[in-house]
Structure formats: C-alpha cells, structure tokens
Structure 1
Amino acid sequence: MQRPLFFRLILLLVVLFSAQFPVSAQRVDIQEWPKGRIVLTSGDTLMGPVTYHRSEDIIRVTLPDGSIQAYAPVNVSSFTVTDERSRVWQTFKPYLWNRGNDYSDYKVPAFFELLSEGKYTLVKREILTTRSQNYGPMYAGYGRYYDPYGYGYGNSRQQTVIQDLFYIYNPKGEIIALRNPKRDLDDLFGNKDREMKDFVKRNNLEYDNARDLARIVGHFNSLP
C-alpha cells in the first residue's frame, strides 16, 4: 500500500469515529447559555453569554469586547441565565458547603441553582453519573439533560447523565442534603406534616420532580 493512501485511510477512520462520538458528548459537565447576568461581590454587574464548568465550579462570561472573564463562587453574589428558546431563567447563588462531607466543618463557597427561596430555601446541584440504559429516546427534564451518546452493549448502553441533587438551606445557614426528599422533608415539616401531605396529595405533586419540590417547599414557607 502506498504511504499517501495509507494516511488517507487513517484520516478517514478518525473522521468517521469522531462523527459517532462528538467531543461535546465528552464534556457534558459544561453548560452554556447565550444570555446571562452576573452580579459580583464587588457590586459590579456583567452581561453576556455564560459558560458553567460544573466539575471546576467556575463560570466564564464573554464580555461585549470579546474578552472572557472567569469567576469562582467566592467572587460571585449570583448569576442568572437563559437559553432564550425555553425562556426559562435560572438563578444560581453560592452557599458555604462542606462538599457533602458530613464529618467535616470545613466549608467553601459552591454554586447552587435556586429553586424556591424563603425561610427554607430549596437549591440543587447537578452531578455526572453513568448508567446503563436500554436503547430508546432520552428526554430532557427540568433542570437536567442527558448525554445522548454512549457505548452499546447488547440491548443497553452506558450513558453519562446529569443527576439532580436537592438541598435545603435552613435558617441556621446550613446546606442540608435531601438524600431522600420525601422522608427528609417529612422530618422538616414537624407538626405541619399532615397539612403538607394533604397539599401534596391534593395537587398530585412528586418529590423527585424539581418543579413540584419547589411548590412543596414554597407552600411550607407560606404556612404561619
């Protein structure tokens, strides 16, 4: 085989493989919005497209002059973004958090998405996890999306998905993980438990749905 032809075949194989497994599928931990507003702890406000790097907990904003600035949670009071298609605005705020280490008092600022604000504030973070899925369409849910690419094994494939993790920010300034939202919120409701169960049942709400969970916590905050 002539060397030029050999290299052409190698290049063709690389192109075909790249088409099947796009680079974007490898970085589902990055989310981009074409429109955003960042309020810094200094009081300055920045406008422009925003990119959120979940793994690094860093946001980047593209300014009108084309320059890009990166900020950690310690430098940000809040940021609000939208994709303009759904016209859903999402707000993120930094809270002091022990990174899920229940045995540590060491806390650092981390970004959380704000779902319902009040005496008890419902927030969430998203993590990457791998699951075995049967072949079939995957649909985006509120506040989460799925990587549609994976490796097939028989009738299933390994897919990288973004999983919602919910938390309560309580009046003591603590971030409390809702590892089992129904059970953990029942404990929080205390003597309002029966009233809250009636509200959930009457409105056909689910504890694993972000919108429903926001309604549940919002209603609890409204009770005298």
Structure 2
Amino acid sequence: MKAYIRRALVAGLLVGGLAGGAAAQRPLVQQFAGSLVLLTSGDTLRGPLTLYTDRDLLLVQQPDQTIRTVAAGAVAAFAVRGEQARPGDYFEQTQLLPEPRRSAYSGGGPGAVLPPRRPPLPEGATRVFRCFRWNRGYEYADYRSPAFFEQLSAGPVLLLRRQSLVERPVAATDPMFLSAYPAGGLPRGTVGYYITARSAFFLGTPEGEVVALRNPRRHLLAYFRAEAGQLEQYARQHRLSFQDSGDLARLVTYANALRTGQAP
C-alpha cells in the first residue's frame, strides 16, 4: 500500500498544475524492445518500436540506428515484446466502470475501494496489434481512418482494445492515507494523482468492421444474439466478468466456437 501512496504522490508532483478533483487525459506512448511490423506493401520492419496510440503512429529503430516513422495506413499488423513502463504497471479500468472492489488493507473502513489492477503479462510475452479503418467513435460518420487496435482473442470475430492514460486525483481524506498517517498529518485537498490505463473494447468482424463495446456485456450479447443465452451461462459457470480484458477474451473465444459449431 505504501508503494501505491508513493506512486500517487510522485504523480502529484509531476502533474501538480492540474485542477483538484478533475481527471485529465494524457497521451499513451508505449515503448517495446523488439517488434516485427508487416507493411501493407508486403515489406517488413524489425527493431525497437515506439507506439503513439493517440496519433496511430509507429517509430521503428533500424539496424543502422535511424528511425523509420510509419503511419497506421501503411501497416497491416505488428507484433511487439519487451514493453517498458507498460500501462499494466498502472491501475486498469474499462470504459464502463465495474462495481467497486473492496480494499484488502486494514483501517480503510467499510466504504474503502481501490481501482482494479491488471495482472502483469508474462515476461517476454508477445502482443499483436492490427490496423482497422475506424470512425473514431462517431457512429454516423462516413469517413473511417486507419487506427491501431490490440488483438486480445482469436477469430473469426476478434476482441480488440485501445488504451489511454487518465490521471485522477487523490484527496488527503482518502481512507488509504488515513490508515497510513496519523490524523492531521496530511494537508487538506488533493495531495496527488494516480494513473489509470483506461481500456475501450471493440469487436473486429470478418468483414473488417469495428464494433464498439461501450457496454461490454450488453453489446457483446447483442452482437452474438443467437448465442447470448449460452454465453451468459458460460460466464456464470466460470465466474467471468464482462469488464475484465482476460475474461472478455475468453467469452469472445467461446462465442466464436458456438457460432462455428466447435464448442464442446
């Protein structure tokens, strides 16, 4: 818990100019030690990679130490490994917040809650990103531009994810501070910020369309309408959450198996 407090205080020093009580979006920049990038031309690039999610842009370091800049429109897919300071080191939340989880630390009181935390990926795990043409959330827009999505499940219907970082304030009256410091030991008001990696989920269809899962449970069941009853039963049986990225990937995989007649 002290590590969490230190992270919040350090973040507060870095973003102390933010207004108290407000959440602020910040660009998500991810760096990877190795990558394989498949271009739409059929060529491939390899090397350390930086992903700018908000701009859908890749920077790939070449063997001669030069940097190749590649926009999403020129990329079919890419695989990466060895992420540095990945969003999984922060607290993860989905676009639709799940029910509050009771904290395990003592002294927080019955109403104390902590943001859900994503377990770290295995060391050396490979992550795959694909490029889809997307309307950027404007449902009635005719224009769709290329954008990167992380692939979380196998197909034919893919579970996709985009992430962004959000800074949220921590007040001195928060139970986690009250349990760690004596009364009156902290100033009033906002004392720092913690950073969450916000996940927005989508489905990638075999036709190349992107379907937003703004409410993952409702929209996933609506897409797999014929399989919805079995899907809900499977989620209850295995205690799977429609808000957790790993559980949601299992649900999409099972829905695919039901639709293709391969489910046990």
Cα pair 1:118 1:221 within 8 Å, conserved: yes
Cα pair 1:57 1:73 within 8 Å, conserved: yes
> d(CA) in 1 for partners of 2:247 and 2:68?
35
Larger Rg: 1
Cα pair 2:26 2:165 within 8 Å, conserved: no
List aligned pairs for 1:1-224, cutoff 5 A: 20-21=13-14, 29-83=28-82, 86-133=123-170, 134=174, 154=189, 157-223=192-258, 224=261
Structure 2, unaligned runs of 5 or more:
1-9, 16-24, 84-121, 178-186
Letter in 1 for 2:168: R
Q: Deviations over 1:53-109 (max 9, x none)?
A: 122210111111111101011111111111177222111111010111112010011
Instruction: Give how far 1:216 is off.
Output: 0.3
Q: Deviations over 1:147-198 (max 9, x none)?
A: xxxxx96366334432100001224432111010011112122232221111
TM-score by structure 2 length? 0.65
- Indicate the RMSD between aligned Cα atoms, in angstroms: 2.7
Instruction: Give how far 1:131 is off.
Output: 2.3
Q: Deviations over 1:190-210 (max 9, x none)?
A: 232221111111111111111
Cα pair 2:169 2:190 within 8 Å, conserved: no
Cα pair 1:135 1:155 within 8 Å, conserved: no
Cα pair 1:135 1:157 within 8 Å, conserved: no
Letter in 2 for 1:175: V
| Residues 107/27 of structure 1: CA separation in 2 closer, same or farther (3 Å cut) | closer
Give 3-state SS (helix, strand or coil) of 2:152's partner.
strand
Instruction: Give how far 1:40 is off.
Output: 1.0
**112-121 or 214-223: which moved more?**
112-121
Give 3-state SS (helix, strand or coil) of 1:83's partner.
strand
Cα pair 2:26 2:167 within 8 Å, conserved: no
> d(CA) in 1 for partners of 2:34 and 2:141?
37
> d(CA) in 1 for partners of 2:40 and 2:151?
18
Give 3-state SS (helix, strand or coil) of 1:103's partner.
coil
Identity of matched residues, %: 34
| Residues 171/40 of structure 1: CA separation in 2 closer, same or farther (3 Å cut) | closer
| Residues 64/159 of structure 1: CA separation in 2 closer, same or farther (3 Å cut) | same
Structure 1, unaligned runs of 5 or more:
1-16, 138-151
Give 3-state SS (helix, strand or coil) of 1:80's partner.
strand
Instruction: Give how far 1:35 is off.
Output: 1.1
> d(CA) in 2 for partners of 1:184 and 1:131?
27
Give 3-state SS (helix, strand or coil) of 1:219's partner.
helix
TM-score by structure 1 length? 0.76
> d(CA) in 2 for partners of 1:31 and 1:169?
22
> d(CA) in 1 for partners of 2:175 and 2:43?
48
